[in-house]
Amino acid sequence: MRDALLGIELGDVDVAATALPEETTRRAMAAGWKVVPTGLEHGTVTVVISGKPFEVTTLRRDVETDGRRATVAFTRDWAEDAARRDLTINGLFLSRDGVVHDHVGGLADLAARRVRFIGDARQRIREDYLRTLRFFRFHARFAEGPPDAEGLAAAIAERDGLSLLSAERVRAELLKLLAARGASETVAEMAGAGLLTPLVGGVPRTAHFARFVDADREAPDALLRLAALSQFVSEDALRLKERLRLSNAESRRLEAIGDMTPRLDPADEPAAKRALYRLGPQAYRDRARLTALGGGDWNAAIALSDRWRAPKFPIAADDFKALGLEGRALGRALKHAEEAWVEAGFPTGRAEIEALIEQASSRPERSAEPDRLPKKAKSRLGQAETPSAASARAIQSLRRGNGARSKPPSWASRV
């Protein structure tokens, strides 16, 4: 009802009814519609018509509340049902004859772009502490100007109740708030009132968040906005995961963004390519968008992930096994070779790749005690040939083509 009056495209359509859930179910099934018993204890069933779900809830009144959930009794009184809701703009009804019914002053508040609790604000919050977040979320979405003074005072007075909420409920409400059009101003109000730290921990970066919101209005990204607000070092991603019970996909995305230092440089394309290779396209775009707040022309750097793909790393374990490396020494050599390949600008030429293999296989840390040497090297200990010498000899054989290998090196098929 609220969105329709504001001319906003409708998403979900919720239906209120005097009929009990059993009667709603009977009538829906008689009409040939699918019925899902969504929350019978609260009077809600979902009726699916032509693939679209409609939640149908029997009118209710609260019997008992504990700050997280309510025990309800059914009623046939529309005013009684409206009075138990949280905000005036959420207490409007539209009857099937097209008449708007307002028992709580929601129409006036909607016209004034004002978000206000129904009745006593503190009492509404005590009934369900999630209403504090809903108050700010709907303010960020619909309101103009500062939050309602009574509602803000009640939220501050009852802020300890936020600790009673499940992380899952907080996460869902907070991400919706962060995606709202007025998120930056609302988040600043919440931070000033001491209401953000209990939710996300750490010190919220409200100025950084506001700059990001200004650049993110076209297609709001709630998770990236959360990172702009609360993530600066890698450990912050783990904190947010625990605090908000983020999904695995959400957690992986924040962890991939990682540490916001060192910053990317939009003018250094080779460095940007190295970052894109190491981070992957999604994390690179996320990091670039967050770093762009520091200034500079980032359009080309952000677009790099669409126009450039790094070649496949052309060196494999077999290239080092052929030189007698195995175990940890092989793993270290492969890692060093890849790092050197990236730093060199992703070369694909034969001579360059051979040089990378030689360099990585000859690193000093490979010269360990005899029991750390590759098996082939151990068998020649009496000859005292070091791994570096063996590597150099193998590389030279490859270059001369003297038959040390009867077929091209394995990397040759990968470039």
What is the pLDDT at residue 385? 42
Is 90 exceeded by the pLDDT of residue 176?
yes
The continuous run of DSSP H or E covering 341 comes out as helix 327-343
pTM of the entire predicted model: 0.79
Which pLDDT belongs to residue 298?
72
Of the candidate ranges 166-175, 244-253, 297-306, 347-356, the one whose mean pLDDT is the lowest: 297-306
pLDDT tens, residue by residue, 24-39: 999 999 999 999 999 8
Torsion of CA 335, 337, 342, 348, to 10 degrees: -140
How high is the pLDDT of residue 192? 95
Query: Residue 297 — φ and ψ, nearest 5°?
Result: -90, 110
Q: Any idea where the domains of the chain sit in the sequence? A: 2-18+59-257, 269-307, 317-414
pLDDT band at 301 (very low <50, low <70, confident <90, very high): confident
Output the average pLDDT for the chain.
Answer: 86
Q: Read off the pLDDT of each residue in 119-138 and give the average, rounded to a whole number.
A: 97
Q: Which residues pair with 94 in a beta bridge?
A: 100
User: Does the pLDDT of residue 154 top 80, yes or no?
Assistant: yes
User: Class assignment of domain 2-18+59-257?
Assistant: mainly alpha
What is the pLDDT at residue 382?
36
Sequence-ordered alpha helix ranges (H) in 258-316: 269-279, 281-291, 299-307
pLDDT score of 4: 85
Structure tokens at 190: 């919440």
Per-residue pLDDT reduced to its tens digit, 207-251: 999 999 998 888 899 999 999 999 888 889 999 999 999 999 999
Using one digit for the tens of pLDDT, what is the confidence trace for 310-366? 889 999 999 999 999 999 999 999 999 999 999 999 998 999 999 999 999 887 554
Annotate 188-208 with b (16+ C-beta within 10 A) or e (fewer): bbbbeeebbeebbebebbbeb
